[in-house]
Amino acid sequence: MKLAIGPLLYYWNREALLDFYGMVAASNADIVYLGEVVCSRRRGPRFEEWLALARELRAAGKEVVLSGQALIESEAELRALRRLAANGEFAVEANDASALALLADRTGFVAGPHINVYNGETLDWVAGLGAKRWVPPLELGREALRALQQTRPRGMQTEVFAWGRLPLAFSARCFTARHYDLPRDDCRFRCLDHPDGLLLATREDEPFLNLNGTQTQSARVHDLSAAIDELREIGVDILRLSPQSSHMGEIISAFRALADATADADETRRRLDAARQTGACNGYWYDKPGMEYHADG
């Protein structure tokens, strides 16, 4: 199984971003997704800078995919998506139906987790558009995935979100700005202050969700490290690890060891526990509420 570094969902400053991708280049991740999925107001790398970074990562032996934004509202955002779709050099991950419109009949795109593929008929249709890889919706559990793997279109790779806070919803409203009583159009880029999002707890102080600008995530980290054997057995090709601001190198090497079965599983999972910032969950894999953690499966 290959390891993919999912697109960075948070807003980091330039130095932190370049450090991170320097680490990734030297790691044994196989695939790297680059691009802004959440918010077009963020002043991250410009398109040409993402391309330059992509070329560096490719030179370091990585397969690079450029990720498109998940919720598109404006003509400016459509223009950015068109530029991405036409880049000609790197495959593109579609995270919105607008991207499907632009990528259809160009071969080799990725249907990302925010494209609703829940059944074989739709997977087949997406393959017909030219998708070479798909990432199931995060809610899709192992039984559904097992069934879909049995009828998957020839050549379609399956990538499963295996580590990270779950991107559960997108909104036109920015919840980070709202927390600071700022309108989205004058947000002052407050999400820069929260490299792993802003934790939201219940009134009895239980961590519940995580605010990341217009994206709402789980507070808990979805962690399929205990299900590696099953993932392999079902025929999953790629494990997606979603970036966090610390210990990412540890996480990559731990998953590499688990995927290759080259290290003690319990020891490796202890390493992952230390690297995780909040509690773990894996409920979705077992067709349970996503927030739950099931040890035995």
Partner 1 sequence: MSKPRIVALPYSIILIAAPSPAVKKPELVCPAGSLPALKTAFDHGADCVYAGLRDDTNARNFAGLNFDEAAAREGLRYAHAAGGKVLLAINTFPQPGGAKRWQRAVDFAADIGIDAVILADAGLMRYCAERHPSLRLHLSVQASATTYEAINFYRRRFGVSRAVLPRVLSLSQVEHVVRNAGTEIEVFGFGSLCVMVEGRCALSSYVTGESPNTRGACSPAKAVRWEQHPDALDVRLNGVLLDRYARDESAGYPTLCKGRFSVNDETYYAIEEPSSLNVLELLPDLMRIGVAAIKIEGRQRSPAYVADVTRVWRGAIDACARDASRFAVQPGWTNALARVSEGRQHTLGAYHRSWK
Whose tokens are 């159009």? That residue is 185
Q: Binding partner 1 by CB under 8 A: which of 1, 3, 5, 70?
A: 70
DSSP string, 1-14: -EEEEPPP-S---H
Helix (H) or strand (E) holding 208: strand 207-212
Q: Binding partner 1 by CB under 8 A: which of 51, 288, 293, 294?
A: 288
Q: Taking the CA of residue 99 as centre, how many other CA atoms within 13 Å lie in the half-sphere pointing to its CB?
A: 29
Q: Binding partner 1 by CB under 8 A: which of 10, 134, 255, 284?
A: 284
Stretch that binds partner 1, among 22-30, 31-39, 100-108, 251-259 (CB under 8 A): 100-108
Stretch that binds partner 1, among 3-11, 182-190, 235-243, 267-275 (CB under 8 A): 182-190
Quick one: tokens of 46?
A: 């410009």
Verify binding: residue 170, partner 1, rule CB under 8 A.
yes
Cα–Cα distance, 157 to 230 (Å, whole number): 17
Closer to partner 1 by CB, 22 or 183: give it: 183
- Shortest Å, Cβ 75 to partner 1: 6
222, β-bridge pairs? 164, 281
Query: Rg for the chain (alpha carbons), in Å?
Result: 18
Verify binding: residue 250, partner 1, rule CB under 8 A.
no
Q: Which of 254, 255, 245 is nearest to 277 (CA)?
A: 245
Q: What are phi and psi of 156, to 5 degrees?
A: -80, 125
- Shortest Å, Cβ 148 to partner 1: 5
Site string for partner 1, 108-147 (x = CB under 8 A): ------x-x-xxxxxxxxx----------xxx----x--x
Whose tokens are 């390493």? That residue is 271
Of residues 185-244, which lie at the interface with partner 1 (CB under 8 A)? 185, 198-206, 208-209, 211, 216, 218
Which residues in 90-103 are b (16+ Cβ under 10 Å) and which e? bbbbbbbebbbebb
Quick one: tokens of 274?
A: 């230390």
Of residues 148-167, which lie at the interface with partner 1 (CB under 8 A)? 148, 166
Contact footprint for partner 1 (CB under 8 A): 70-75, 78, 81, 96-98, 100-102, 104, 114, 116, 118-126, 137-139, 144, 147-148, 166, 168-175, 178-179, 183-185, 198-206, 208-209, 211, 216, 218, 283-284, 287-291
